[in-house]
Structure 1
Amino acid sequence: MLFVERSFLATKPWIDFTQEMWLGEHAGEWSPMERLLDIMTLASDLCVRVMEYTHSNGKSSSEDEILRTLATFAEEGHRLRSDLYSWEEMAQIWPSSTKYNHQMMIAWVFYPAISIYLSGIYDYDRIWEASGITTPGLPRTEVQQNVGKILDRTALALKGTNVTALVFLFPLRIAGARVTTVEEQENIRTLLAQISCSFSVANAISSDLGEVWADPVPRLVTTA
């Protein structure tokens, strides 16, 4: 669901275009979900670039050059973390309406998932710890809190809305990579089984997570 290669959606011309669109004739259709999707796109693009660099660094760069590049990636992540916190503050005071209630319910499922995803860019590669650079990674306790929010809010959304259940595969895949208990695993399996009644692709996500849970070595989630 997230990009495994660079996307035009994260380029400046496209971002400028969408900003102009929402400030123009489509301003009345804007909701916080639009901003959250922008942040998700930028986080995904950052993940691709970080992985490409960390998998190839050292071949032609000096140690100082590597540290400068890593610091730049970390700064970009901190900006996105700040954007997420700003989004949360805005979304909490966004006026409720029938038109946007379901959309915001989805947004509140995506918010903790994107937060975990952003943290995951820096959590699994030892290069960050070795560099001594401060990253926007989350403490484990906060990651687990976000996992709980994803599971609770997804269950509520599946029960209380008629939106396509397909949209919840991304947050469930992200949460699945960070569960710490068998109970959480079973919870995710149950939610995916519910989604699979309409979308068989949920079975593939469930199988993929089964492999993740059987692997004692944590893996960075780049797709969901």
Structure 2
Amino acid sequence: MYHASIALGALDLSRRSVSTTLPPERKDAAVGAFTAYHTSIAKLKAEILSNNTPRDVNLWTPFFLGLFELMHDVTGEGWVKHFLFGTSKMLQLRGPEAHVAGSGRSFFLTVRVFEICRALIYSEPTFLCQPEWTSLPTKIWNGDDNCHWHPKESLFDLMIACSSISHRVWALIKPDSSNCPNISLHRALLELAAEGFVIRSALADWYTNFQKWSTDTGTPEYNPDSVLATIYFHGISIYLSGIFDYRTQFNKIPTPTISQAVVQNHVDNILRMTEISLKTANLAAVLFFFPLRVAGARVTTARETESICGMLGEISLRGFVVADAFTADLKSVWRRKGI
């Protein structure tokens, strides 16, 4: 973890153009960053080989290495590999009970949102959908230390449920699954749509309860956790509709889709609140990739595309160059839409 931390700091230093940092010093910092990065990987590998169960301290190492990749690898593939085969695997090796309390608990609550966003952005399965992991948050918040609970935790549960539906829909109707009998396929699609309606209703209830909780606790709307929760609410509301919007198999089945007007309202809120958050809130900029990607797929005007490009550009300038990949991907979507 020490070397991973050094790698992050040195990489950041190598990219600064302030007058106090000369080009030769930035070059030395870049060399030091990659040296520390490879040292961290080598030491982590040795640690894993010598211990069957990862220690708490080593949970953070692949997480930091993943952040390094977000700052270095424009494609985002390095981050996915570190997170999917590093952080996520370590969590699973330790099992949910190791994360009910203590430092394991803190790590799980920190990492959970990144794993959720990874699964949603890349349309991939996540171990968080497994029953033993979906029940972990309840165990955590039923413990002695529940003073830091925020309604965003309940929203994360709904986002995981959306991810599960999305992956099962994809698995059901992907090209190589055409041998599924039509009757069985139709029944399965109906069941997935029914699950979607349950989540749609739960999202509406969550937002009502969230507003009541904010009023009862006196939590201001600009509280960072509340800002993130609100932006994610708008993002997952669009995402849930998109699971069914883009698939013709659901054309003759009632689904929890929303109208274009409602989608536009969610898009407007995502753009407005994310822009403000990037200027004022103390939130990790990488947390905005999911809502911006979802909103970007639904925008209809050049002004909106310029706004999203500006925000992704700002995130890139803050060191997370993977934002450039999101920009390129969205520009391709916008060209196809004629925007």
Task: Summarize the Cα distance change of 1:169–1:96 in structure 2 as closer, same or farther, 3 Å threshold.
Answer: farther
- Hey, what does 2:159 align to over in structure 1? 40
Q: TM-score, normalised by structure 2?
A: 0.60
Residue 79 of structure 1 aligns with which residue?
198
From 316, 326, 331, the counterpart of 1:205: 326
* 1:38-187 superposed matches below 5 A: 38-55=157-174, 56-61=176-181, 63-94=182-213, 95-97=217-219, 101-129=223-251, 132-187=252-307
Secondary structure class of the residue paired with 1:111:
helix
> Whole-Å Cα distance in 2 between the matches of residues 77 and 84 of structure 1?
10
Q: Which one-letter code corresponds to 2:322 in the other structure?
A: V
2:315 matched to 1:195?
yes
Contact 2:172 2:185 in 1 (8 A): no
CA contact (8 A) 1:2 1:44 kept: no
Find the aligned partners of 1:24 and 1:92 in 2 and give their Cα distance: 25
Structure 1: 5+ residue stretches without partners = 218-224
The offset of 1:179, in angstroms, is: 0.5
Shift of 1:168: 0.8
C-alpha spacing 1:38/1:211, structure 2 compared with 1 (3 Å): same
Structure 2: gaps (5+ residues): 1-116
Q: Describe the shift of the 1:26–1:188 C-alpha distance in structure 2 as closer, same or farther (beyond 3 A).
A: same
After the TM superposition, which of the residue ranges 100-109 and 80-89 deviates more from structure 2? 100-109
RMSD: 1.7
Q: CA deviation at 1:128?
A: 0.5
Question: How big is each residue's C-alpha offset from its partner over 1:47-97, in whole Å with a ceiling of 9 and x where there is no partner?
Answer: 011011011554132x22222111100011111111111110111112234
Deviations 1:19-57 (A, max 9, x none): 121122232221111111111111112101101101155
Deviation sequence 1:165-220 (CA, Å, 0-9, x none): 11111100100000011111011111111111112111111111111111249xxx
Which of the pair has the greater relative contact order for Cα pairs under 8 Å at 6+ separation? 1
1:30 paired residue number: 149
Q: 1:153 and 1:54 mapped to 2: Cα distance?
A: 35
Label 1:54 to 1:26 Cα distance change in 2 as closer, same or farther (>3 A).
farther
AA paired with 1:157? Answer: S
**Structure 2 residue corresponding to 1:18, chosen from 130, 137, 159:** 137
Which of these two proteins has the greater Rg computed from alpha carbons?
2
> For residues 95-117 of structure 1, what are the alpha-carbon distances to aligned partners after superposition, in whole Å with 9 as ceiling and x for unaligned?
2347x911101111111100000
Total equivalences in the alignment: 213
Percent of residue pairs bearing the same amino acid type = 37
Q: Does the 8 Å contact 1:109/1:153 carry over to 2? A: yes
Residue by residue over 1:100-150, the C-alpha shift from the partner in whole angstroms, topping out at 9 and shown as x without a partner, is 911101111111100000000000111111xx2210011111111111110
1:8 corresponds to which residue? 127
